[in-house]
Amino acid sequence: MKLSVSVSFINDTNNSNATALIKVKGFIPSSLVQNGSYYRASMFWPSKYKISVKTSDINYNVKIINTIPSNSIDSIRVKESLGYSIGRNVSVSKESSCLGLNSGINVEKSIEYD
């Protein structure tokens, strides 16, 4: 696994606390192997991962107040709708007559997570 860490410090004159934004990016290589004229690769995707931040501050002045993504679901919105239409047509003349029916249905479902 390859990992890069980027830290940006924010100097806020209205706040006595120092703020640092820590951005972590990772990559899992494919383990590409050549065997003769054939290539083989495999990807192992983690089902979960853990990143920890430690400080050497013994006075407990450093506090982690927020993380993004939080890996939690605060709210779920489920929307479902159903629409339908029914129609007919009638045509009568001396030579012929015609009767027709038509119908349609529309079903929609969406799920949103916050």
50-61 pLDDT per residue, tens? 667 777 878 877
First CA to last CA distance, the chain: 29
Answer for the pair 51, 22: CB distance below 8 angstroms, yes or no. Answer: no
Closest CA to 49 of 16, 24, 76: 24
Residue 45 has pLDDT above 70, yes or no: no
Closest CA to 48 of 23, 20, 71, 74: 71
Please state the pTM of the whole predicted model.
Answer: 0.36
Closest CA to 85 of 114, 71, 105: 105
